[in-house]
Amino acid sequence: MNVTYSELRRRARESLRGQWGKSIGAVLLAAIPSLILGILGLFSHSMEVAGNIMSYLIAGMIALGSAAFFLSISRHQRPPATSIYQGFNHPVRAFLLYILILIFTFLWTLLLIIPGIIATFRYSMAYYILADNPGMSPLEAIRRSKQMMKGNKWRLFVLHLTFIGWGLLSLLTLGIGYLWLGPYMAVTTAHFYDELRNQEQKPPAPESF
């Protein structure tokens, strides 16, 4: 039986208890590289081009580090905020995973917007999978994400929709509320991943005679 959306959000709030400040700090740390590259790009066109290239190079590492950090939070561990950068320990795999997801999603988008959106959810667990299995190849992480998300893409889409109200409230705070909403959504998604992972590891039900 699938866990309800409200239960996933409750688990996320429980995991974040006493760790909100650290999680907000991690979100701010994750934004620093892009902020620095953006500032450097203001000085010259060549630095802007170099900054854009660097953004592509580090995006996967930040995504991997974020997945690993919020997975740790969801599992009631106490990682330091700086561990948001741990994706830099696996630069090649993180970059290749980012590029492959980008390419595959773009190819689906060429068909229509909807297939592109579906592809986004199809590959959404890949960073969590790679965070749990740092020695895995990016293609294998994508393959496992596709398998894990069979029949679950709509569930994740609806789970994200349940945060719309919080998103609107965050707009009223001139975006400051997103510092809390970001970790809340990230940890809830991490719990969603762990729920799917646990379902895969459960032994099959015995056959009835």
Q: Which pLDDT score is estimated for 154?
A: 94
Instruction: Encode pLDDT of 81-95 as tens digits.
Output: 999 999 999 999 999
Q: Where are the domains of the chain?
A: 5-198
Q: Which pLDDT score is estimated for 209?
A: 30
| pLDDT exceeds cutoff 80 at 157 | yes
Q: Which pLDDT score is estimated for 208?
A: 37
Average pLDDT over residues 66-85: 95
CB 105, CB 142: distance < 8 Å: no
Q: What is the residue-averaged pLDDT of the chain? A: 89
- Please name the residues in contact with 9: beta carbons below 8 A apart, sequence gap of 6 or more: 162, 184, 188
Average pLDDT over residues 179-202: 91
Q: What is the DSSP string of 12-79?
A: HHHHHTTTHHHHHHHHHHHHHHHHHHHHHTTT-HHHHHHHHHHHHHHHHHHHHHHHHHHHHHHTT---
| pLDDT exceeds cutoff 70 at 136 | yes
Share of the chain above pLDDT 90, in %: 67
The pair of structure tokens assigned to 80 is 């330091």
Q: Which pLDDT score is estimated for 33?
A: 86
Instruction: Encode pLDDT of 15-67 as tens digits.
Output: 999 999 999 999 999 999 888 877 777 776 676 677 777 787 899 999 999 99
Q: Comparing 82-96, 112-126, 134-148, which segment has the lowest mean pLDDT?
A: 112-126
Query: 19 in helix, strand or coil?
Result: coil
Q: Please report, as a single letter, which amino acid is at residue 147.
A: Q
| pLDDT exceeds cutoff 50 at 205 | no
Q: Which pLDDT score is estimated for 17?
A: 95
CB 191, CB 74: distance < 8 Å: yes
Average pLDDT over residues 105-126: 89
* Angle between helices 178-201 and 20-40 in degrees, nearest 10: 110
